[in-house]
Amino acid sequence: MTEYTPIPDNPLDISLDPAPSDPIALFRAWYDFVKDRSSLPNPNAMSLATVGEDGRPSSRMVLMKHFDENGVIFYTNYNSRKARDLEHSHRAALLFHWDEFGLQVRIEGTAEKVSSEVSDAYFASRERESQAGAWVSRQSEPCEHFSKLVIAYVKILEKYEGQDIPRPPFWGGYRVSLESMEFWVSQEHRIHHRFLYTKDLDGNWRSQRLYP
């Protein structure tokens, strides 16, 4: 059976007791470490888990586009299954798994739409082709013919030739708040490090080490 390999000369060093006091700073340190050293094309990829009105869980990979003390932002079609789930429950669970370094972060919190201004600003920063793609994808709906999608895509590019492509009203961002953050570091023989941070009613972080 394959064993997880700890990071050689791990500069992140979260094995100390007590745990670092600030999980937000810890996440930034981990993410910067992975981004600078990883061979992954998308180190900001994360699993997003939601639950629908029927009680069925669903997960998929999305990309983190912003992180700060207020939460994690990603963007999607507001008519997609994930968006419908979030509009029902307003709850989300995120998972970053950087297997190359034996690191994992879990985040849970409430999910709310970001402001139109925030969504507009990010949409304007996207490549023109991706902007057009956002207009034509009826995300999560059946697509009978791929050619229909391609034709619609070309028409959007032609329609807005020589001008800015506006953000579709059905497309924008969600922010997942930081109610809990869990950090995991692989160790030999599966004696892993695992810390859980939760917020109290005053917004202060409480940390505890968990059994792996």
Positions marked catalytic: 190
Residue 153, CA distances (Å) to 82, 128, 134 in order:
23, 11, 9
Q: What is the dihedral of CA 74, 78, 81, 86, to 10 degrees?
A: 70
- DSSP secondary structure code for residue 5 in this structure: P
Q: Let me know the angle formed at the C-alpha of 161 by 158 and 164, rounded to the nearest 5 degrees.
A: 125
Summarize the chain as % helix, strand, coil (round to 5). 30, 30, 40
